[in-house]
C-alpha cells in the first residue's frame, strides 16, 4: 500500500537557530527530537508528506502500520504552533484521490479550491486546477489500490493525498498547513515535469522561503 520514508535534515540560520525539515516519517523523528532536547535552538519545523495523526481505532480493516508510534507521538509531543518564536509548517500533496475497494464512487476532476486548515492570520490556499476538464469516470484500479493505503492511515479511502499519505493526515492543528496540487510523495517513481514530488525544483521553490524567513 506504500511505505513511509524517513528523511530528516536541518539548516542553521545566521542567528544560530535551526530549521528542521522532515519528509514522511522524518517528521515524526523531528517532533520526538524536539520533545527530547527542547526547542530553544529551533525556530521552524517543516514537514513534507508526514503522516502526523495516528490511525483511528475501531475502523474495520484498519491496522496500525506504525505499531503505536504515532499514538506515542500524539500523546507525548507538544502540539503544533505558529508563533514568531517557533513555527510549524506542514505541507501535503494532492496527487491522487483514493477510492473504496468496491463500489462506483466518482473521482474529482474539476477545478476546486483546496481548503487549508491554518490559523486565520497565516492561512494559505492553493488552487487545484485541471486545464483539460473531462467527464467524471469510475475509479481506476490505481485509485482503489491507493485508497486502501489511505484507509490504513486515516480510516477513509475516499480522500485526497500524495499517493501514500492522505492530505488530512499530513496537517496539524495549530500549524501553518499548506496543500500542493499534483505533488507525489516520493522521489522514487517521480518525474520533475509530469509527476513532481516535494523536492522537485518547481515545488521546492514554493516552500523553501519558509526556511529562510
Enter the C-alpha cell of residue 114. Answer: 483546496
Instruction: Give me the pLDDT at residue 189, please.
Output: 85
Instruction: Give me the pLDDT at residue 6, please.
Output: 52
What contacts 142, CB < 8 A, 6 or more positions away?
96
Rounded Cα distance, 109 and 122, in Å: 28
Enter the C-alpha cell of residue 91. Answer: 505541507
Q: pLDDT per position in the chain (213 positions), as tens?
A: 444 455 666 666 657 789 999 999 999 999 999 999 999 999 999 999 999 998 888 788 888 887 888 899 999 999 999 999 999 999 999 999 999 988 766 554 333 334 344 443 333 433 333 344 455 567 899 999 999 999 999 999 999 999 999 999 999 999 999 999 999 999 988 888 889 999 999 999 999 999 887
What pTM does this model have?
0.80
Q: Is residue 151 part of a domain?
A: yes
Measure the CA dihedral 167/5/204/20, to 10°: 100
Enter the C-alpha cell of residue 159. Answer: 480522500
93-119 burial by CB neighbour count: b if 16+ within 10 A, else e?
bbbbbbbbeeeebebeeeeeebebbbe
Instruction: Give me the pLDDT at residue 131, please.
Output: 42
Q: How far is CA 113 from CA 65, 136, 180, in A?
A: 31, 18, 11
Instruction: Give me the pLDDT at residue 104, please.
Output: 67
Closest residue by Cα to residue 30 from 12, 49, 9, 5: 9
Q: Is residue 18 part of a domain?
A: yes
Rounded Cα distance, 18 and 203, in Å: 22
Q: Is residue 111 part of a domain?
A: yes
Instruction: Give me the pLDDT at residue 168, please.
Output: 97
Q: Supply the range of the domain harboring residue 102.
A: 6-212
Rounded Cα distance, 29 and 195, in Å: 27
Looking at the structure of the chain, the number of domains it has is 1
Residues listed for the chain: 213
Instruction: Give me the pLDDT at residue 105, please.
Output: 60
Rounded Cα distance, 201 and 144, in Å: 30
Q: Is residue 1 part of a domain?
A: no
Amino acid at each position: 500500500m506504500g511505505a513511509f520514508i524517513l528523511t530528516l535534515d536541518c539548516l542553521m540560520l545566521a542567528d544560530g537557530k535551526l530549521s528542521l525539515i522532515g519528509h514522511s516519517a522524518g517528521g515524526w523523528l523531528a517532533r520526538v527530537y524536539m520533545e527530547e532536547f527542547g526547542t530553544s535552538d529551533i525556530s521552524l519545523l517543516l514537514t513534507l508528506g508526514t503522516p502526523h495523526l495516528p490511525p483511528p481505532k475501531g475502523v474495520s480493516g484498519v491496522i496500525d502500520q506504525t505499531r503505536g508510534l504515532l499514538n506515542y507521538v500524539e500523546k507525548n509531543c507538544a502540539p503544533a504552533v505558529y508563533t514568531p518564536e517557533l513555527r510549524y509548517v506542514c505541507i501535503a500533496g494532492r496527487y491522487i484521490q483514493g477510492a473504496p475497494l468496491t463500489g462506483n464512487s466518482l473521482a474529482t476532476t474539476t477545478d476546486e479550491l483546496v481548503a487549508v486548515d491554518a490559523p486565520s492570520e497565516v492561512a494559505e490556499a492553493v488552487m487545484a486546477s485541471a486545464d483539460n476538464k473531462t467527464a467524471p469516470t469510475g475509479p481506476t484500479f490505481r485509485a482503489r489500490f491507493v485508497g486502501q493505503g489511505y484507509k490504513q492511515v486515516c480510516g477513509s479511502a475516499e480522500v485526497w493525498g500524495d499517493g501514500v499519505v492522505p492530505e488530512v493526515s499530513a496537517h496539524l492543528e495549530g500549524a501553518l498547513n499548506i496543500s500542493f496540487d499534483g505533488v507525489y510523495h516520493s522521489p522514487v517513481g517521480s518525474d520533475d515535469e509530469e509527476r513532481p514530488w516535494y523536492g522537485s525544483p518547481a515545488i521546492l521553490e514554493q516552500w523553501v522561503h519558509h526556511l529562510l524567513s
